[in-house]
Structure 1
Amino acid sequence: MCGIIGIVSGQPVADRLVDSLKRLEYRGYDSAGIATLSDAGLDRRRAEGKLVNLETLLKTEPLGGTIGIGHTRWATHGAPTVRNAHPHATPRVAVVHNGIIENFRELRTSLEADGYVFESETDTETIALIVTRALDRGAEPVEAVRQILPQLEGAFALAFVFSGEENLIVGARRGSPLAVGIGKGEMFLGSDAIALSPFTDAVRYLEDGDFVVLDRSQAKIYDVDGLAVERPVRRSVGKAFYVDKGNHRHFMQKEIYEQPEVIGHTLGSFVDMTTGRTRVPNGQSLDFKDIKRMAISACGTGYLAGLTGRYYFERHARIACDIDVASEFRYRESPLGDVDLALFVSQSGETADTLASLRYAKSMGLKTASVVNVQESTIARESDVVLPTLAGPEIGVASTKAFTCQLMALAALSIRAGVDRGVISPDEELAMTRALAEGPRMVAEAFKLEGQIEILARELATYRHALYLGRGLSYPLALEGALKLKEISYIHAEGYAAGELKHGPIALIDETMPVIVVAPHDRMFEKTVSNMQEVAARGGRIILITDEKGARAGAVSAMETLILPDMPEILTPIAFAVPLQMLAYHTAVHMGTDVDQPRNLAKSVTVE
């Protein structure tokens, strides 16, 4: 995850900006930079690689100034070079940005038509130039930012400083987190409490859609409708702890809300967002041209991500896929002579059964690849190809952001496989990667359901059993939703392929059985509706999770309907995972269980 820091003060800020960025190194990054405003004007320093390179540069080319912004960047649009590093700037404004601007190509074309020249490959430079255009047309700095925000499609957190404005920082968030730190005669803006912890423990967390104007004495916050609002001051424990819950009650809730940002960064590893072309991360070699069969293995939620991956690879690349729970795969002594690639999925990279399965595949002479969140882990080190998920530290035992990052990695990789095998044309590849780029925004849209879900969870908490149903890409989600509910609320729940309902589970249906149906309006929708009708006819309590088109179909009366926006089919597993996570979370909270550390469970299972 990229990191943002901003300081408006009466004291020099360059060293403090770098100190704060060091606190954000745990989020991962591949370049860093700061920009300050002094008597000499707006200036910046940027460097590839680790912060030590930026510190070395600042020793030889120091920056003055009592106001500035800083950034650690994971490359998405453009390679991790100095030219693409943040802050991005014009003579009038500098900006740092977390997230993805989906429509940056259209904005770039408009700016170039007006004579504005780009120096980088990034979507972020588009923001700097579109604000500059608003300034050139006569807008004042705050108004310029207000004007351009509605033009930006995607999920983002932003911080701006302006030439000639030595007492002003403007920030905004949509999807990606941002917090205000309150000091004495100075104010701060940062990605989280950890970034602000060297300076203050008094923090205001911006809510989604908020816009903030900072000077040395105050922070004026406006909501998505432009109305002035107060956000509560919270005392951060960032000084004492490495990772902070922020304004969330549990780490699990915080990690749910981090998903727009982290899935965007994961996508950026697998897709050159400037060209829309897929790639294998970090310049590794993995050609799918001659791969006809894959074996996927994982445990728990990683297994369910792999099950979704099977649908992706078979549909998009026409590669036959076997998938196994690693604890079974390692002992089956499966003949793998016709398998061309063994793929393993693990958040920690240390899962004992998955590691043993990897070693078995290697002993059989197979090429191996791993989708892992910890790139220094054993599974990563022992794999031929490492496919990183950039979720950052996941503290909650029940996986949330690691799961959706795994889905994003597998979706993008399946497109790469389809291109290699000639199944997907260049035009289709571009359309599919543009669809994936909508992922952060779609996940952020799902957050709007939280109030409805919290009320629904109070009723779900009164039941002792639940069924989850889904078809196609929604079947693994039904399994994952059931797993989440049982993990943290201790309510017995089972997930089924909806077509299996009449092969046994329908015997359980009565008025005491809630049935959660995952049903985007895809090619399987009508068949899923038929299964819902069978549930309704027997008095089952249906909770329908669908999209706007599915809701308009109105085929079955449900106890509750959760409606997401219409979206490309490839995105539905990622976005529809969020209401399932929230439903389990709020049910568990209402029941008073230990959400982050549920009984009998560990974050990483390193023994049999």
Structure 2
Amino acid sequence: METYTEKEIRGQFGALRKILSKKQNLTKEVKEIRVEDYDGVIFVGCGSSYYISLIALSFFRELFSNCSEAIPGGEILLSPETHLKEDKKYLVFLISRSGESTETVRAGEFLKKNYDTTLVSLTTEPDSSLVKIGDISIILDDAREKSVVMTQSFTVMVAFFLALFRGWKNIEIFDEEMVDKAEKFYKTTRDKIKSLLSDRDFDHFVFLGQGYAYGLAQEGALKVKEMSIGFSEGFHSLEYRHGPKSIITDKSLIFIFPLFYDEEKRLAEELEDLGGKVLFLGEEWGILDDIDKNYRFLFWIPIFHEFGLQRALYRGLNPDNPKNLTKVVKLD
């Protein structure tokens, strides 16, 4: 029987198409925001939503000059003075799939009470606490999920931020044809991903990326942890040389999301020389250099979703019931 997790991984392309068909309406909800009116732009989330924040931050910084930062919800609550000034005005994106993550909701309430902010809530749930505290709410209900592990909504939220920021600059966004290419790529690589499990008895998983792909690396590592209870790590690609490579063995499987081909290819060769198996997810995997680098996440995210899923099934685990986890982290 197909799990919710499987259905939602497979369904992310359909969800993307629905979001694209509504992109004008989604952008309209925030079209009156003038980024230049703010001293800073902040992205707040927890867990996977924090990694969305990191990716959104990279997309934003490529296009805008405002001071900007991605901050976990708990950090806002415990150490706000490290990041915020009382005499500044902030545009704040609060990100939560459920809209109920306690630390994100409380961070929003704290910011609203203590700072000059406009809160933009991004969630899949229209009746959530996050919607109630937001000055503006963006509800991506086509990406709602039943599974514990965040999959399709992650992809859709990343795509939404890229579309939003490019829309503010009147830059074209990818279309359904690009989503079709990504889905075709996913279908042709599923067996290839599954075969990795019989290649070697891997027990160490590494995800590497630079630029916005660093957020993908963190999320990829998290998916393997959550779904398959695997020892996994995420790093900036070139940082992996500086200490972490010491634990590479022939049971290490390393995923590289290359935005900077030459330097990251050189790193891949170094790590292979140390005995690790490297998946360099560029042209060798059918992800061509002529694909806009900001669209490559459409091809990369389903790879680590599928790998986490297949490793869970291979180990006899139920991806809908991951160890020690619940769909929403709610605190008393």
**Cα distance, 1:339 vs structure 2:** 4.5
**Cα distance, 1:447 vs structure 2:** 2.4
Whether 2:190 is the aligned partner of 1:450: answer yes
The one-letter code of the counterpart of 1:344 is: L
Q: Percent identity?
A: 20
Answer 1 or 2: which has greater helix percent: 2
Q: Which residue does the alignment assign to 2:104?
A: 354
CA offsets per residue over residues 390-433 of structure 1, 9 Å max, x none?
A: 3343111111111011111111111133x2xxxxxx4xx2xx22
Q: Which residue does the alignment assign to 2:302?
A: 578
Distance 1:381 1:591 in 2: 41
Distance 1:450 1:596 in 2: 20
Q: Which residue does the alignment assign to 2:95?
A: 345
Q: Which residue does the alignment assign to 1:389?
A: 140
Whether 2:262 is the aligned partner of 1:509: answer no
The one-letter code of the counterpart of 2:301 is: A
Q: Per the alignment, in what secondary structure is the counterpart of residue 483 of structure 1? A: helix
1:411 to 153, 162, 169: 162
Query: Measured at CA, do residues 497 and 436 of structure 1 come closer, stay the same or move farther in structure 2, by a change above 3 Å?
Result: farther
The one-letter code of the counterpart of 1:582 is: E
Whether 2:23 is the aligned partner of 1:270: answer yes
1:490 to 196, 210, 229: 229
**Cα distance, 1:437 vs structure 2:** 4.2
1:123-202 alignment to 2 at 5 Å? Answer: none
Answer 1 or 2: which has greater strand percent: 1
Distance 1:502 1:392 in 2: 37
Aligned pairs, number: 326
> Please, what is the CA RMSD of the aligned residues?
2.0
Q: Which residue does the alignment assign to 1:329?
A: 76
Distance 1:497 1:469 in 2: 6
Query: Measured at CA, do residues 490 and 572 of structure 1 come closer, stay the same or move farther in structure 2, by a change above 3 Å?
Result: same
Query: Measured at CA, do residues 287 and 416 of structure 1 come closer, stay the same or move farther in structure 2, by a change above 3 Å?
Result: farther
Determine which structure has greater relative contact order: mean sequence separation of CA pairs < 8 Å that are 6+ residues apart, divided by chain length: 2
Query: Measured at CA, do residues 339 and 437 of structure 1 come closer, stay the same or move farther in structure 2, by a change above 3 Å?
Result: farther
Distance 2:67 2:176 in 1: 26
Q: Contact between 2:265 and 2:280, CA under 8 Å: does it hold in 1?
A: no
Q: Contact between 2:126 and 2:141, CA under 8 Å: does it hold in 1?
A: no
Whether 2:27 is the aligned partner of 1:279: answer yes
Whether 2:268 is the aligned partner of 1:545: answer no
Pick the structure with greater CA Rg: 1
Q: Normalised by the size of structure 2, how large is the TM-score? A: 0.91
Query: Measured at CA, do residues 325 and 458 of structure 1 come closer, stay the same or move farther in structure 2, by a change above 3 Å?
Result: farther
Structure 1 gaps of 5+ residues are 1-247, 273-277, 420-425, 552-561
Whether 2:131 is the aligned partner of 1:380: answer yes
Distance 2:207 2:323 in 1: 23
**Cα distance, 1:285 vs structure 2:** 3.7
Q: Per the alignment, in what secondary structure is the counterpart of residue 94 of structure 2? A: strand
Query: Measured at CA, do residues 438 and 302 of structure 1 come closer, stay the same or move farther in structure 2, by a change above 3 Å?
Result: farther
**Cα distance, 1:567 vs structure 2:** 2.2
The one-letter code of the counterpart of 1:442 is: K
Q: Which residue does the alignment assign to 2:65?
A: 318
**Cα distance, 1:436 vs structure 2:** 4.5
Structure 2 gaps of 5+ residues are none
2:257 to 518, 525, 529: 518
Q: Per the alignment, in what secondary structure is the counterpart of residue 324 of structure 2? A: coil
Q: Which residue does the alignment assign to 2:286?
A: 563
Q: Contact between 1:264 and 1:439, CA under 8 Å: does it hold in 2?
A: no
1:11-22 alignment to 2 at 5 Å? Answer: none
2:3 to 244, 250, 269: 250
Q: Per the alignment, in what secondary structure is the counterpart of residue 452 of structure 1? A: helix
